A and B are shown apart, each in its own frame.
Chain A
């Protein structure tokens, strides 16, 4: 053994030497690629800030019909929050029910296929959702729901004078609800499936019905995942552009009425609708609103990921 050791050692010292340089070069390339991601995120912030800065303090004519940046963006923020809130209220129960259906109710073989059907919803481009929302869903929702909301819940300030063609912030929020359903379902489904088998079987063995088993074994285990999924859905709803831009007929007024014709657009939709008439000052203003949107969605996403931890991360596309 000792006699063969010395030639081996000399060989192991000599042969890898030329390739070390290759190793070092490759490691550097790979590191640079990884750091590019960091740089890109910082660059998004820096460039938006550099261009948007001017938009914060232009002369007051830029903000017409308002007079300051705060006045310009306030109605947009209100609309964004209202639309996202309505979308979440509509979508969360469905997301949880659909996730439960796939994980615990559907026949096992069907489960995976049905999950794929829901994922198909995520594959539909947002512009097609907008087209459908503006041309079909709005007309469908107008008599059935918008009028109904006005007649029965008119005392709530957000259900004011109904839009004659159904193209309102409410309809846009319904489209948003459909669009954020897949991601919320995907996350909830995953955490439901991760419930320890033994907990479920123990609950059933104690005589729990299926619903009681879900309430006492699955939900407590999945709570943080459900919260994370909801927050990711919120992030999507805040930033979704085309569906809102195409469904909404907008005017720059301040109103809380979500079923009327005169709602201000969301921040994202406002950018898409006004980029054309942009003078350099207006362009800076739009970029400044984009910066606000970026910071808000970034924080929402960071919070969501922080809640979800690493376990759910594979699934959020």
Chain B
């Protein structure tokens, strides 16, 4: 013991300590894993538990209680993240593995009309229905959404009305989708009688879900437009409405498009409202204003509900197409956002 030296910092474990502990944990858990024939998942889970015990214990001996608690929490947080991501990985893997065998050109190009038993069926009618209903929903919600955003940014600003509307838009994001569907159903039933079903009802329900997202993203983008641009326009004698339509909107266009595409990707997978108000049918229906109309999510649900092997197969195929659609839309949104992002100061 060297008494002459004052220790002003206490002992620390070396930087590679967690790596060593991890390796030891894997090895320790590997022994019972080999003996009992566990799969890799159980092995890693066991190793995690060993690590979460061993690492703080080692730290407790060398570094003291407070550092040991810190190590434990760090381990727990990494573990929690790994566990939280695992359902996503598992789900995507399952969808691709189970869905891929179902996909062929016929699956994409024929409907379920007169398909009996195990015959080859398709999702053509559902794709068409999804396209029509979603486009109609976008046509309803994009003007309302962007103009509301214009009101909030350029006109209402911090007025009482603007604050109330901002608050309501926030609350609207939390409306359960099934309630939106029931609203559209109640509307159609009141207007056209209790048995009426039509694709447009689905569009009304979806636009109720889309509007808040569109308002939010457009508002955000318009607030990013520098005031210099507006003032330059005013200084040239351009009236306010021309300034908004010719300067503010074009400058924030990319961001608005991104927001709209993201909103579409969100509602394209909605099932419950369409199930209630647009119903399901086996054939192609291109008339939004009359008759039942199948969409892709509803197709997946009804095939799943049939509880037959071929039904499950079709459901997985539909799920793969749907997930691919959503991911492609997300990707487009990001690309548009990135390509046209620095639109300021042209």
Contact = CB atoms under 8 A, between A and B. Distances in A.
A binds B: yes
Interface of A: 15-16, 19-20, 22-23, 25-27, 29-31, 33-34, 36-38, 40-41, 43-44, 47-48, 50-52, 93-94, 97-98, 100-101, 105-106, 114, 117-118, 120-121, 123-132, 134-137, 178, 181, 209-212, 232, 235-236, 238-242, 245-246, 268, 271-272, 275, 280, 283, 286-287, 290, 293-294, 297-298, 300-302, 304-305, 310, 313-314, 316-317
A120 B88 contact: yes
Given A128-B91, A136-B94, A294-B176, A114 B186 contact: no
Interface string B284-315: 00000000000001001100100000001001
Contacts of B162: 34
Interface stretch (B65-73, B108-116, B335-343): B65-73
B179 A290 contact: yes
A125 B304 contact: no
B178 A126 contact: no
A48 B322 contact: no
Contacts of B166: 310, 313
4 tightest A-B CB contacts, nearest first:
A239-B176, A125-B269, A33-B147, A26-B241
A301 B73 contact: no
Contacts of A211: 69-70, 73-74
Query: In the complex, which range does the number of interface residues on chain B fall in?
Result: 35 or more
B208 A301 contact: no
A176 B87 CA distance: 12
Nearest to B162: A34
A44 B179 contact: yes
A124 B194 CA distance: 33
Nearest to A234: B174
A268 B78 CA distance: 35
Interface in B180-236: 180, 182-183, 185-187, 189-190, 194, 208, 211, 213, 215-216, 220
Contact of B182 (A245, A286, A304, A313): A286
B256 to A, nearest CB: 14
B74 A105 contact: yes
A131 B319 contact: yes
Contact of B174 (A31, A126, A290, A300): A300
Contacts of B143: 33
Contacts of B172: 37, 40-41
A293 B83 contact: no
A130 B301 contact: yes
A15 B78 contact: no
B84 A31 contact: no
Contacts of B90: 132, 136
Given A101-B81, A211-B70, A36 B148 contact: yes
Contacts of B84: 94, 97-98, 118, 181
B165 interface: yes
Nearest to A136: B94
A129 B270 CA distance: 12
A16 B237 contact: yes
A79 to B, nearest CB: 15
A92 B300 CA distance: 30
A124 B190 contact: no
Interface of B: 66-67, 69-70, 73-74, 76-78, 80-81, 83-85, 87-88, 90-91, 94-95, 143-144, 147-148, 150-152, 154-156, 161-162, 164-180, 182-183, 185-187, 189-190, 194, 208, 211, 213, 215-216, 220, 237, 239-242, 244-245, 265-266, 268-272, 275-276, 297, 300-301, 304, 312, 315-316, 319, 322-323, 326-327, 330
A210 B77 CA distance: 12
A126 B269 contact: yes
Contact of A297 (B165, B179, B239): B179
A37 to B, nearest CB: 6
Contact of B215 (A22, A37, A106, A121): A37
B151 A117 contact: no
Contacts of B176: 238-241, 268, 293-294, 297
Contact of A40 (B66, B147, B211, B301): B211
B76 A97 contact: yes
B185 A98 contact: no
Contact of B242 (A22, A94, A271, A305): A22
B213 to A, nearest CB: 7
A26 B300 CA distance: 44
A314 B166 CA distance: 11
A125 B322 contact: yes
A128 B182 contact: no
B329 to A, nearest CB: 9
Contact of B304 (A134, A241, A294): A134
A284 to B, nearest CB: 9
Given A19-B242, A123-B265, A242-B272, A272 B87 contact: no
